[in-house]
Amino acid sequence: MTNMSSKELILNEPPSPKPRPFSIYRWLGGILFTFAISFLGYLLSKTPGFDHVGQLASAIIIAILYRQIWGYPEALRKGIAFSSKHLLRLAIILYGLKLNINTVVHDGLELLIKDAGVILFAIVVTVWLAKLLKADKNISLLLGIGTGVCGAAAIAAVAPIIKSKDEDTAIGVGIIALVGTVFALSYTLLRPILPLSPLDYGVWSGISLHEIAHVALATAPGGEEALAIGLLAKLGRVFLLVPLCFVLMYWMKTKKKDTEDNQNKIEFPWFLIGFLIMSLFGSYVLGNTINLSAGIIDGISSITTWCLTAAMVGLGLNVSLRDLRTKAFKPLIAMGITSIVLSTITYFIVLM
C-alpha cells in the first residue's frame, strides 16, 4: 500500500455539499406557512373553550404539535425565521399605537408608581423562586417580565436583548398566554363576590393581570368605568417596557464585559425606537391633526395581532415537547406562585 500525503488526501476527498441556494419561493412559502398556522389558531380560538384562550396561544399550540408530529419544515426555514424575527419586530413597533403616552402621564401618574412596583416585584420574586426551585433561569426571567409588564409583547421585546433561544421565548409566550387567561377568567368569577367598586376592580385588574387582552376580558363585565381605568393602569405597565429594556441592556453589557466574544455583544434594539415613535404618533398626532376612522385603527390592530401570531408560530416550531416537560414545569410553578401573591397583595393595596 502506498502512503499518500496529506495534500493528496485533501485533493481526493469528495466535495462538500453546496449550501442550498436562496429561493424566493421557499422564503415566501415559509412566511405563508406561519400565517396558515396563525389562521388555524384563529379558527381554533373561535371554538368553545379556546375562545377564552385567544388566537396567539391557540396558534402556538398548533405549531408545537406540528413540530412533534411532522418535524420542522426545513425547506421553509428562511421564511419561518423571517417571521419569527422581522415580523416580530414589526408587531412590537405597531404595538406602540396602543400606548397613549399623554393619557398615562396626565391621568395615571399614581397608577404608574404602582405599575413600577408591580414590575419590580414580579421580576424579583419570579427569579428568586426560580433559584429556589432550580428552574431554568432564562425562561423564568422571561415569565417574570411577562407577568410584570405586558405578557407576550414584553417577552418578545426583551428576548433578543437577553439572548433568549427561540424555543425558550416560545415556551414563555405560551405559558404567559395560558396562565393569564386562567387568571382573567378567575377575576370575572370573583368580581360579584368581592367588596370592590367598579373603579377599584378595574385598577386591581389593570395592575395585576398579564396582558392587555386579559385586562379587557376581566374588566368588561364590570362596566365601562372598570374597563377604562383597567386599561389605563395596564398601559402604564406598557409605558415602562422601554426603560426596562434599556436597564436589561445595561445589565447584559455589564454581565458580559469581561469577554471579547462577538456573539455576546448586545445588539441595539432599534425596534424599540420604532415603538416609541409609533407611541408618540398615536398619542399626539392621531386625533389631533390626523383623524383616522375606527375601521383603520382596528385594521392596524389586526395587522399587529397577525404579525405577532405568525412570529410566535415561527418560535413555536422550535419547541420540543421533551424539552418543554423538562424546562417549563418549574418556571411555570415560580410564575404561578408569583401571580397569586401579586394578585393578593395588589387586591389589599386597592382596598386601602
Question: Rounded to whole angstroms, what are the CA distances from 79 to 24, 37, 155, 310?
Answer: 9, 14, 22, 11
pLDDT per residue as tens, the chain (352 positions): 445 454 444 444 445 445 455 588 889 999 999 999 999 999 998 998 787 778 887 888 899 889 889 988 989 989 998 998 889 889 888 888 877 787 777 767 888 899 999 999 999 999 999 999 999 999 999 999 999 998 888 998 899 889 888 889 988 988 888 888 889 889 988 999 999 999 999 999 999 999 887 888 888 888 888 888 888 888 889 889 989 999 998 888 887 665 554 445 556 678 888 888 888 888 777 756 666 666 777 788 889 889 988 988 988 888 777 767 778 899 999 999 999 999 999 999 998 8
**Residue 274 and residue 295: Cα distance in Å, rounded?**
23
Question: CA-to-CA distance for 77 and 70, rounded, in angstroms?
Answer: 14
> 3-state DSSP: the chain helix, strand, coil percent, rounded to 5?
80, 0, 20
Query: So what's the pLDDT on residue 7?
Result: 46
b or e along 62-90 (b: 16 or more beta carbons within 10 Å of the residue's beta carbon)? bbbebbeeeeebeebbbbbbbbbeebbbb
What's the N-to-C CA distance of the chain in angstroms?
Answer: 92
Q: Kindly give, in sequence order, each residue whose CB lies less than 8 Å from that of residue 304, ignoring residues fewer than 6 positions away.
A: 91, 94, 95, 97, 98
pTM here?
0.78
286 backbone dihedrals φ, ψ, rounded to 5°:
-65, 130
**Beta-bridge partners for 290:** 286
pLDDT for position 266: 59
Residue 47 to residue 296: CA distance in whole angstroms:
27
Residue entry with cell 426583551: 158
Q: What are phi and psi of 45, to 5 degrees?
A: -70, -10
Q: Which residues of 25-55 are buried (b: 16+ CB within 10 A; e: fewer)?
A: ebbebbbebbbebbbbbbebbeeeebeebbb
CA 346, CA 352: separation in Å to the nearest integer? 10
Looking at residue 13, what is its pLDDT? 44
- The whole-angstrom separation of Cα 133 and Cα 137 is 10
Q: How many residues would you count in the chain?
A: 352
